[in-house]
A = this chain, B = another copy of it.
């Protein structure tokens, strides 16, 4: 990331600052001090940490570096709430984040208010660099909003009592999924990546040409019902559909269903922010790893006469003309969950390309031709994660509305699945 051409005025940025910061605090509202303190695995962080780390970002890169008279809320926080910025000095070990009962949730909410007040004062006199960092900080905070929700979901799933983050509205979902149509994509050379005005992370640049072979994309993502077919057809029972690393993972971790699924006498249940609920067949499957997505595609390839994961470029070219801020994305604190895809508004016939579930692609997360990491501490942000991970596109129901772009590159290791991850198939034509 780094300073992008600024499209927003300081005033507009401040308005967005208030909205984004307010949503984060609202997301933490249902949480007790204890809820917000715990860390359920090394991949996740405590909610308190998300609240504080996002504030530390503004405090460090703007207030400390770009204002003259700011005094830190607490000098110890830089050590506690730095994440992976090696250039910013030593930091608390990631796996130890969940052992910090103090400062309390209330103290960290006070820290947030302290930083917010200082930003309000400073906003009018920030230079362009600082405004760029402010915008960056908001996008950074939106990423942590999604993680806060998925980390809390993971934490609550470890509690045998399966607590409810927030009850869901009782809305009867449609009971059948749309049929899959295969939407033909444009072969040949097409530009992908970010260019022009507007914010983007450094890894989305430079905009460059990609060459596509003839392909089609499925009109919707894979559903829970289809996933149960895969299970019942022995999808998890043998090596044949799996990448070698994936099969080792299945066996080592005794995987036999998506994360948060359990089966009882009444059938498959899934745990969510709204507690334990029946699996809805027509809803998109979520909380699957890349290994599972790939195995499903291999199974579907045999069963449906052609299927594979899309590449990042295929997905992005198809999404380029669609509204990135539409669909099922995060707008307020709620028991968010994927919903059944409805007929797409767009001419192309693709449902829910944005929102609902992140879509695994078959593309490794590697630098674009000509990529240069942004300078300085913030430049550590993306480039250094470019090994071993796969790209996901489109955002999910937990992605803050306004955060998404067609060029957005999310990335996770192939075994990770505590995000709202799903898949949309592609095929050669």
Render A147-178 as a binary contact track against B, CB cut-off 8 A, 1 for contact: 00000000100111101000000000000000
Interface residue A338 (Cβ < 8 Å from any Cβ of B): no
In whole angstroms, what is the CA distance A155 to B99 when docked? Answer: 7
Q: Is the CB of B79 within 8 A of A160?
A: yes
A258 CB to nearest B CB, Å: 19
Interface residue A420 (Cβ < 8 Å from any Cβ of B): no
Q: Is the CB of A209 within 8 A of B211?
A: yes
Give the contact stretch, choosing among A11-19, A236-244, A351-359: A236-244
Q: Which residues of A contact B (CB under 8 A)?
A: 32-38, 40, 76, 79-80, 84, 86-87, 92, 96, 98-105, 155, 158-161, 163, 189, 208-211, 213, 238-240, 242-247, 290-291, 294, 311, 362-364, 366-367, 369-370, 384-388, 390, 414, 428
List chain B residues, Cβ under 8 A from A247. Answer: 86, 384
In whole angstroms, what is the CA distance A170 to B217 when docked? Answer: 61
6 contacting pairs across A/B (C-beta < 8 A): A79-B160, A99-B155, A100-B158, A100-B159, A101-B159, A290-B387
Q: Is the CB of A101 within 8 A of B32?
A: yes
Known: A33-B33, A104-B32. A99 touches B388 (CB 8 A): no
A395 CB to nearest B CB, Å: 23
10 A-B pairs with the lowest CB-CB distances in the bound complex, closest first:
A364-B364, A34-B37, A34-B101, A211-B211, A86-B239, A213-B369, A99-B158, A35-B101, A33-B34, A244-B384
List chain B residues, Cβ under 8 A from A210. Answer: 211
List chain B residues, Cβ under 8 A from A363. Answer: 366
Q: Is the CB of A160 within 8 A of B369?
A: no
Q: Is the CB of A32 within 8 A of B32?
A: no
* Stoichiometry, copies per complex: 4
In whole angstroms, what is the CA distance A234 to B366 when docked? Answer: 25
A51 CB to nearest B CB, Å: 13
In whole angstroms, what is the CA distance A101 to B163 when docked? Answer: 9
List chain B residues, Cβ under 8 A from A211. Answer: 189, 209-211
Q: Is the CB of A160 within 8 A of B76?
A: yes
- Selected from B159, B213, B240, B388, the residue in CB contact (under 8 A) with A102 is B159
Not counting A37-B101, A242-B384, a sample of 16 additional A-B residue pairs whose C-beta atoms are within 8 angstroms of each other reads A32-B104, A33-B34, A34-B36, A35-B102, A38-B38, A40-B99, A76-B160, A86-B239, A99-B158, A101-B163, A209-B211, A243-B384, A243-B387, A245-B387, A387-B390, A388-B388
In whole angstroms, what is the CA distance A242 to B161 when docked? Answer: 31
List chain B residues, Cβ under 8 A from A189. Answer: 211
Which B residue's beta carbon lies closest to that of A241? B384
In whole angstroms, what is the CA distance A116 to B242 when docked? Answer: 34
- Selected from B32, B244, B386, the residue in CB contact (under 8 A) with A84 is B244
Which B residue's beta carbon lies closest to that of A164? B102
